[in-house]
Structure 1
Amino acid sequence: MRECVFEAALIKNMDSEKLQFTTESEAAALYCLKNELKYEIGEAFMFVDCGEYTTDLTTHKLVRNDPLYIDKATVHIRDFCGSRLINEEFIKFLCERLGTCAIDLLKENNYSHLQYMIQVFRERIMEPFTGDNMEFQNVLDIDEVSPNLPQYVSEETREIMKENEWLIDIKYNDIKKMFDPVVDRIIRLIYIQLSNNKENCSTIFLTGNFCENKYLQNRIKEEFSHHVNNISVPDYPEAAVARGGVIYGLSIISTILDDVEFDILKPAISPRVLKYTYGIKYNWKGSEDPTHGGKNCRFKTLVKRGTEITFDQTFSFNFKPESKTSESFAIYYTQKYNIEYCDEPGMTLLGKLNIDLP
């Protein structure tokens, strides 16, 4: 990415400190803490970012208030359980009422109609749903939202829908059934992150466009109000990442304008915590049996998951080449902490590092 910015002539040299990067989770954390200045140094906070496709959880610790400085306390976790899954539950509901074949034909021949139905569902039903009112319901008018759909339904379904004037009642329990599989996965993720935390969290912050939904907020508050002191939804949770990115950028600008050495005052964010264990495949030479399933695939760990690292930190190992002019190392990574062989489940080849030897 830095190379692309340089090639576009937006920075004068490749290593320019005027181009800085941060992660979405760190930006969201900055935005939340910048607007909540009542916390003490050393407090830990969990950030639950629920978007359209994914839910990401991170835990940070407040290191300094002025200027704001945070530390990642735990490896972040992710699951593909965003609000888009509720769209899929809605489509399943339509298949139950109108037939899977009809919805498949609509998707194939009139895809824009299906997308419009989903849009209407989100605006009229999903977004205002809080779970508090068991009388909450809505009506989907097929003639209004998808006039081409009736031609795809079976004769039996057509007769039923004619009697109902092509209206589908979507009741409280129908909506709750669409929400709960997704919300339950998010709650499970929060429990996992709480168990992973090295320190107790004082606050859970909810960000991302899905966290605007009152039903999701209420379920999380109901589940975790006894585990943490506070569960907070900042103003404009859907914009937390963008606004946090601006805060991060402004902290860099103020550093430059104040003529402070950049290496002395790093803005806002401290070292990262590794999500994976990294290492290399190496050839075992010794009395011990080197093979695993007939393969010489021993794994040498360079750095383990959960290790806190700083920018530009290096991890190395020593080896003695025997009359070689070059060497190639296969680099692997895994979520496991301890591993012996490169062909074990959960191992992934990252790439190969080719080195010319003197």
Structure 2
Amino acid sequence: MDSEKLQFTTECKWVLENKAFINLMRQVLIINYFNLKDIQVIFHSYLLEAFMFVDCGEYTTDLTTHKLVRNDPLYIDKATVHIRDFCGSRLINEEFIKFLCERLGTCAIDLLKENNYSHLQYMIQVFRERIMEPFTGDDMEFQNVLDIDEVSPNLPQYVSEETREIMKENEWLIDIKYNDIKKMFDPVVDRIIRLIYIQLSNNKENCSTIFLTGNFCENKYLQNRIKKEFSHHVNNISVPDCPEAAVARGAVIYGLSIISTILDDVEFDILKPAISPKGLKYTYGIKYNWKGSEDPTHGGKNCRFKTLVKRGTEITFDQTFSFNFKPESNQASESFAIYYTQKYNIEYCDELGMTLLGKLNIDLPDVHLDNRRIDFELTFGQYEIIASTRNENRQKHEITFCYPNDDF
């Protein structure tokens, strides 16, 4: 007997026999994922609107929008809008290093990094434990003192003569005050807040609740800034008791939900034939804002249609069509309007027969960088169309649309 088929049959038998256990595990994990108040919030979201997870980790921030599809048993649909950006708490470490460079000289910090890297890492650890983690932003008198002799006794040999004299007068102590700390936090926190605004603008339904998860969301300053900024935009902003552990629990919940979903029709899925390629009934593309002296306009409007795939094209599911573009210098955001039409050739988005499928709004950070080229992709899945962008810094935005009724 084919070993792969045997393994598949064995696994299906196990999950079928243990489906009740899987559903029980999902219930327990979800109850532990949030407190009772949060569970009630989720049920409210199910009855009315969507909810968002903002997962702020050490390296990345992920934003996803979900809806509770049903409550008996609990079932959360997969993300319909997703943003990933590399703006985690580690960027605050980099701001701290910049602060040290200002006080001790860039050359000194570079030499410390090269010759005594463990000392630099220890300084960062002390900074995180004594300053970063307890910082709330509420106490404007909050400050701390960094004792260089304690955290990095080898550092003094790398500083310049002028800096050495100044530091000797200060007994090799560096005062880190409230405004210094806030200056380290704000570039990262501001970027996360901007991402939440972009995510809200991409949501197809109103968002009633924001859940803050991930280790960075344990920080009170980040929590307070988000609550202050969005308390008028959403009904609830909730933080689990252990935001970092919530991510791991959520991963298990998601895995169990996938298994449970597969089980619903597992005996039918075995009998399903292979999915054949399909021919698209519409031409799909985006509104493309051409710029430059020779760029065409239409009635004074800059609404050129950029075709990505034409009507009649045979596609396989999960096939992607893309194009690459470069934003203008200092451009901080972009909006992609996705259209479809029965016409084969089309030039402008405001012509008859054009229908708006939806929009994808994206954030464009790092405006100081010259090369910020972006790949826009339109992926045709089995049940949905996914519009996504990815830049060369690996920042990603994604939104899901339903097919037009007669093109499914």
Question: How far apart are 1:56 and its partner, in Å?
Answer: 1.2
Kindly state the Cα deviation for residue 262 of structure 1 after the two structures are TM-superposed.
8.2
Deviation track 1:85-137 (CA, whole Å, cap 9, x = no partner) reads: 10000000000000011000000110110011001000100000000001111
Q: Which of 235-244 and 150-159 deviates more? A: 235-244
Kept after mapping to 1: 8 A contact 2:195/2:363: no
Distance in structure 2 (CA, Å) of the matches to 1:15 and 1:315: 37
CA spacing shift, 1:121–1:265, aligned 2, 3 Å: farther
Q: Alpha-carbon deviations, 1:21-61, whole Å to 9, x = none?
A: 999xxxxxxx9999xxxxxxxxxx01111111111111111
Residues of 2 paired with 1:345 and 1:163: CA distance? 76
Distance 2:220 2:185 in 1: 12
Distance 1:329 1:160, change over 3 A: closer
Q: How far is 1:75 from its partner?
A: 2.7
The superposition leaves residues 256-305 of structure 1 with CA deviations (integer Å, 9 ceiling, x where unpaired) of 99997585999999999999999999999999999999999999977799
CA–CA distance in structure 1, aligned partners of residues 216 and 136 of structure 2: 13
For residues 136-162 of structure 1, give each alpha carbon's deviation from its aligned partner in whole angstroms, at most 9, with x where no partner exists.
Answer: 111101001000000000111111111
* 1:345 partner SS: coil
How has the CA–CA distance of structure 1 residues 158 and 238 changed in structure 2, closer, same or farther, with 3 Å as cutoff?
same
Structure 1 residues 269 and 122, CA, compared in 2 at 3 Å: closer, same or farther?
farther
Give, in angstroms, the shift of residue 244 of structure 1: 1.6
**Residue 235 of structure 1: how far off its partner (Å):** 2.2
Structure 1: any 5+ residue segments left out of the alignment?
1-13, 24-30, 35-44
Change (3 A) 1:208 1:356: closer
The whole-number CA distance in structure 2 between the counterparts of 1:335 and 1:139 is 68
Quick one: distance in 1 between partners of 2:137 and 2:325?
62
CA distance 1:192–1:22, change in 2 (3 Å): farther
Residues 268 and 84 of structure 1: is their aligned pair in 2 closer, same or farther, counting only changes over 3 Å? Answer: farther
Q: Is the 8 A contact 1:32 1:234 kept in 2?
A: no
Cα distance, 1:65 vs. partner?
Answer: 1.4
Q: Give the deviation of 1:78 after TM superposition.
A: 1.9
Residues 348 and 214 (structure 1), Cα distance of their counterparts in 2 relative to 1, 3 Å cut: farther
Distance 1:315 1:175, change over 3 A: closer
Q: How many angstroms does 1:81 deviate by?
A: 1.1
Q: Which moved more, 1:286-295 or 1:174-183?
A: 286-295
- Which residue of structure 1 lines up, in the alignment, with residue 377 of structure 2? none
The 1:202–1:292 alpha-carbon spacing in structure 2 relative to 1, beyond 3 Å, is closer
In structure 2, C-alpha distance between the alignment counterparts of 1:326 and 1:19, rounded to whole Å? 52
Deviation at 1:208, TM superposition (A): 0.8
Alignment equivalent of 1:208, drawn from 201, 204, 214: 214
Distance 1:138 1:72 in 2: 44
**In the alignment, is the contact (CA less than 8 A) between 1:54 and 1:78 conserved in 2?**
yes
- 1:174-193 per-residue CA deviation (whole Å, 9 max, x = no partner) reads 00000001100011111111
Residue-pair matches, total: 327
- Between the aligned partners of 1:203 and 1:320, the Cα distance in structure 2 is 35
Match of 1:19 in 2: 6
* Shift in alpha-carbon separation, 1:222–1:355, aligned structure 2, 3 A: closer
3-state DSSP class of the match of 1:92? helix
**Runs of 4+ more than 6 Å apart:** 14-23, 31-34, 252-260, 264-357
- Contact 1:73–1:198 (CA under 8 A) maintained in structure 2: no
Counterpart for residue 351 of structure 2: 344
Q: Where does residue 8 of structure 1 map in the other structure?
A: none
Name the CA distance, whole Å, in 2 between partners of 1:194 and 1:356.
12
CA 124–280 in structure 1, closer or farther in 2 if over 3 Å, else same = closer
Correspondence 1:332 to 2:344: no
Change (3 A) 1:322 1:174: closer
Q: Provide TM-score, normalisation by structure 2.
A: 0.55
Go from structure 1 to structure 2 and tell me whether the alpha carbon gap of 1:21 and 1:161 turns closer, same or farther (over 3 Å shift): farther
Which ranges in structure 2 are unaligned for 5 or more consecutive residues? 11-45, 365-408
* Deviation per residue, 1:180-219 (Å, 9 max, x gap): 0110001111111111111100001111111110000000
Distance 2:101 2:321 in 1: 54
The match for 2:165 among 151, 159, 164 is: 159
Question: Alpha carbon RMSD of aligned pairs, Å?
Answer: 11.6
Compared CA separation, residues 235 and 317, structure 1 to 2 (3 A): closer
